[in-house]
Structure 1
Amino acid sequence: MRLSFLAPVLALLPAFVTAQYDVPSAPFKLVVLSDSSTLNGTVLYSCHEGASIEGLCTGGTSNPAYSTYTHNTSSNAGEVNETLGASGYLIWVLPGGTFNESETLTLNVNPISNVALPLFWPSIEDSTSVAFDSNGLLNIQGYFDDRVVPIVGSTSYVAYYRWYVCTTYYQGYTYQTLAWALGEFPPENPTCQAVSVKQVFL
């Protein structure tokens, strides 16, 4: 599918995104991989969670603008582990009647839950860096382990794949969405099912 409508949209990425993360990927969709036959192969799409706030819902959409994303990485990142992938911002462009607004993915943390909700926000503040590994799988990387004393740091990053699909609630909206487990233990939300998220270029 040709997505020529994205050309003017991508040109509108804000300066704060293009300055730090100045290498946008080609457009892609996010596909769920799961042992569940009802989830496996479904396409994630941006769903309304508030004013200019979107979650990542399951089930797909007939409008490709709501399931098309880019990944901005940095030309100044230095040496990148190609197996784990380069970290950067996951970008979705909110199409408005008279505007197109670039939004970045942020993990919204509820302090009384170990399940975080990935949301697209119109601000870069607190955005979460993510990567796609050599198999196209979405991950978040870290370099220290605080489960041991003293805390162990590493000279290289480790990729984590703590993605789930859960029934989530945010500001009055209940959906089946992508979620992230905080820590190594299973999510306390009983609806959560473990998944992987694959980048599939358009």
Structure 2
Amino acid sequence: MKSTLVASLLAIATSTALAQYTNQTAPFNLVVLSKNETYNGTTLLACHEGAGIEGLCLTSTLTGTGLTGSTFNFNTSTYGQYNLNPAIGEQGYLTYLLRGGNFNESEAFSLYYSATSNVALPLFEGTQGTLVAFDEHNLLNIQGYVDDRLPPPYNGTFTAYYRWYACQTYFTGYTYTTLAWVTGKYHPQNPTCEKVKVKRVFI
């Protein structure tokens, strides 16, 4: 009985939280900034990584002509963010509209973690997502207030992190050069990874 009640409350809390992120920006592209000439200026494309699953591929690394980046939106909460720092941006959900033959589904950006790697793979799948933000320069970041490099790990102040890389990645049979996120302060263990920044450019 108790476990059923707890599960129900968690489900209600989750659905309520998702329903609050209804303030949506105008559509935009995501542009990669890099010292690598092949990557610099390329746009990110929502590329197929499985049934109803999209990664973020760099268009300059894909075969074919005329490839352009996908269109994305950013949803923030109707209630705003606690302790908002405008310089690093309000947190919300990066979304992509997957269009099928008889459906349109808004998917949220989330990070897929592997227990054997410090490189996480950004994916669009379903409605559960990872909170991200765009700073005053429209650069994509992920924020946190826990820093376990020094005790105590809790510092109570949101800090923006920009741990984006372009890497050759593998997921469910698909190998691409995609955007990736490195967990922690150290270099990615994937030797193909190169540091990049990701900028929002409104259409």
Aligning the two structures, in what range does the TM-score lie when normalised by the shorter sequence?
Answer: 0.7 to 0.9
* Partner amino acid, structure 2, of 1:100: N
In the alignment, structure 1 residue 67 sits paired with structure 2 residue 79? no
Counterpart of 2:90 in structure 1: which amino acid? A
Gap runs ≥5 in structure 1: 1-14
Question: Aligned partners of 2:126 and 2:134: how far apart in 1?
Answer: 22
TM-score (norm 2): 0.86
Matches of 1:162 and 1:73 in 2, distance apart? 22
Q: Residue 29 of structure 1 corresponds to which residue in structure 2?
A: 29
- Provide the residue aligned with 1:54 in structure 2: 54
Deviation at 1:123, TM superposition (A): 3.0
Contact 2:31/2:201 (<8 A) preserved: yes
CA distance in 1, matches of 2:133, 2:152: 28
- More displaced stretch, 184-193 vs 142-151: 142-151
Aligned ranges 1:1-202 → 2 under 5 Å? 19-59=19-59, 62=66, 67-78=70-81, 80-124=84-128, 127-154=129-156, 156-202=157-203
1:18 shift after superposition: 6.6
Amino acid at match of 2:85: N
Partner AA of 2:77 in structure 1: S
- Alpha-carbon separation, structure 2, partners of 1:18 and 1:62: 36
Could you list the per-position Cα deviations for residues 71-127 of structure 1 after superposition, in whole angstroms to 9, with x for gaps in the alignment?
000121245211000000000000101111110001000000000000000232xx1
Aligned residues between the structures: 184
Aligned residues: CA RMSD: 1.8
| Amino acid across the alignment from 2:74 | H
Cα distance in 2 for partners of 1:56, 1:16 equals 28
1:63 CA drift (Å): 6.8
SS at match of 2:59: coil
Deviation, 1:152, is 3.4
CA 1:42 to 1:28, structure 2 compared with 1: closer, same or farther past 3 Å?
same
